[in-house]
Amino acid sequence: MTPSTHPIFWRDPALPYVELRQVLDGRKVSYAPHSHQEWSIGAILEGQSEFLCADRLHAVERGALVMMNPNVVHACNPRQDSPWAYYMMHLDKDWLTSLLFSHGIRPTQNWQDTLSDTLLSVQMYQAFVELCDGLMSTDLSSAEKGLILEAMLVNLFTLLAAEQGEASTALPENKLYQVANYLNQHCLQDTSIEQISAEFGFSTGYLVRAFKRHFNMTPHAYRLNRRVQLGQQALKQGQTIADVAQTIGFSDQAHFQRVFKQRVAATPDQYRRSVSS
């Protein structure tokens, strides 16, 4: 049987802090640079791909784990003519922080970025793939799935702390972060970039260049990305695509679908469909 080219999304209302995506044939997948609010980890199951994380480019293939910190711009796409299959998991950073703190892996309950983009560990790769298979399975209860998820993450972050010296990487405070926070808080407004630049004391040209250099996105793309994140939340809650598009500031539903697919590599309708226990 030919693998489906459509992504499969797994969610469980009993485990609201985790979402899993499975792609079995991603040869035609194309991701635009985007970011997530969650901490993310993925496993390449077949083929080869190029993984861009911030300004770092990695060649990854079957057996590799990739990791992305919250709000870091990234993109992963298959190499030309290469088969490509993968699992991708998104985890609520506050829940993950609490888990790591309770097990003594992290010293505080404040989120700390991981330092590595990739991990080559046969043991952790197999453990992660087995975890994903278990979450997709109907043979385990939600409670059992929660336990194996926690155990795998504790083992993973213990390994990262021991072998890679993971430590706090607090970002510096500056006006660019104030602009990013403004765009997050007011993403549904269409305030012009010129107005935003003036509000924070930048020329428009400087703000766009500096913002893109620091966040790997223009302010406009950053705002669109945040709207897509809100759209994902609304779709998971069962809202219609038309209502979501209008609510998050897209008067044209076709535009919403195009922007959404560029960043999620799935249509809004595909994203709404998920398998669950």
Residue pLDDT, tens place only, 34-48: 999 999 999 999 988
Cβ neighbours, 10 Å, residue 231: 25
- Residues 43 and 156 reside in one and the same domain: yes
Q: How confident is the model at residue 139 (pLDDT cuts 50, 70, 90)?
A: very high
Question: In whole angstroms, what is the distance from residue 121 CA to residue 16 CA?
Answer: 28
Residue 170 in domain: no
- Residues 184 and 153 reside in one and the same domain: no
Exposure on the CB side of residue 145, measured as CA atoms within 13 A = 24
Global pTM value: 0.81
- Residues 41 and 145 reside in one and the same domain: yes
- Residues 132 and 92 reside in one and the same domain: yes
Exposure on the CB side of residue 158, measured as CA atoms within 13 A = 11
User: pLDDT tens, 199-234?
Assistant: 988 888 888 888 888 888 999 999 999 999 999 999
% residues pLDDT > 70 (the chain): 91
Residue 3 in domain: no
- Residues contacting 257, CB < 8 A, separation 6+: 241, 245, 267, 268
Question: In whole angstroms, what is the distance from residue 196 CA to residue 207 CA?
Answer: 9
The domain that holds 62 is classified in CATH as 2.60.120.280
Q: Which two tokens stand for residue 259?
A: 């922007």
> Any idea which residue has 């012009």 for tokens?
192
Residue 180 in domain: yes
End of a domain among 112, 131, 164? 164
Residue pair 276/141 in contact (Cβ under 8 Å)? The answer is no
- Residues 199 and 232 reside in one and the same domain: yes
The burial class, CB within 10 Å (0-12 / 13-18 / 19+), for 173 is exposed
- Residues 191 and 267 reside in one and the same domain: yes
Q: Which two tokens stand for residue 84?
A: 């490509």
End of a domain among 164, 190, 220? 164
- Residues 145 and 185 reside in one and the same domain: no
Domain residues for the domain of 118 are 8-164
In this model, does residue 167 exceed pLDDT 50?
no
User: pLDDT tens, 62-105?
Assistant: 999 999 999 999 988 777 767 778 999 999 999 999 999 998 88
Question: In whole angstroms, what is the distance from residue 77 CA to residue 66 CA?
Answer: 13
- Residues 72 and 41 reside in one and the same domain: yes
Question: In whole angstroms, what is the distance from residue 204 CA to residue 187 CA?
Answer: 18
Residue 212 in domain: yes
The domain that holds 217 is classified in CATH as 1.10.10.60
- Residues 90 and 45 reside in one and the same domain: yes
Residue 149 in domain: yes
